[in-house]
Structure 1
């Protein structure tokens, strides 16, 4: 009788664990965390697991914080760059629809927000503004160009991304001299070895042919002046 009871208890526990696993998987699949894009546009929304978000709107890059409560998400815009362009009215409407509290759902891999915005999963890309812990920056533009600030000089060039492979060609830099010039030379040399990349919540990591990290960046912080 005791053995029978133990077997029944074990089966019940397995069922509970399996059910919990299913619930956990469902919850994860319904999470808005990830990189999203509005189809047919360059408008992106990257929702991080740390309660922050950032993206590219019709004209400007933007950032902020969010909170989750069940299937309700509240976006609080923290700021944006201050460029002006022909689609600025679309951008104003986008920010108005994004901000505040609203429900969301994940439908067929799409993030659908109550206020009328629908995003699809964005392909992984190096495009964005990135910085290292030491303040070195690199900005990859949609048009295949990049620019940034090294330990001493500003630099620029072109890149080619194919899936998760990327090659970087530095075409020039300013010619200042400073105490960190050797570190800068090493950084510029390392960019020539880059053949791939990974993008996670932690940021962008450029890798070499062996998959080894060459340099790691976090999303660039916006500083209001």
Structure 2
């Protein structure tokens, strides 16, 4: 428990707790590398009555996005007062409908309430180009994920497709933004808009983790960690 609310938990964490967590996390790292890229399944569903109770006071756009998602993918796998979460729904690794709206003016004014994730590796030298494309695209290289948030799945699908085109060199960020400008109109007007209706590339079947490389090799620390792992029964 934090004793001084003017200081962070990081400042006040006892040295013993810091080393204990490091020893446990290093053991977990080893096991994860050994286990490989197995995909986890989450099949529990939240009862629809509970979901309806949660979202009844949500803002209109957030509530509608949640209802639209449930219409096609059923009840979420997890629910809190501010989030609904689906796992492995359609092409998505994870979908999150969230209560608290974020204003977004590209490509047209709306509020972001729906975030969707795919497994995808973005090379470090391409990350800046994705930032130029659109601010709602979020790269997590360590997890090997890309997410995008908007107000509807069509817009998210369109942005993911354009992200892939930029990474693969098919389009520049400027060309992709211009394409989004035209394609989103077609989608919203219920005309053919394939880039907003379906992901246009093959998604990876395995996790796209990018664990980077180890640069901390301090002998004193590693010895302390090894001793702590023995003490905790991790070795």
TM-score w.r.t. the length of structure 1 is 0.27
Structure number with higher helix proportion = 2
Greater relative contact order structure (CA < 8 Å, 6+ sep): 2
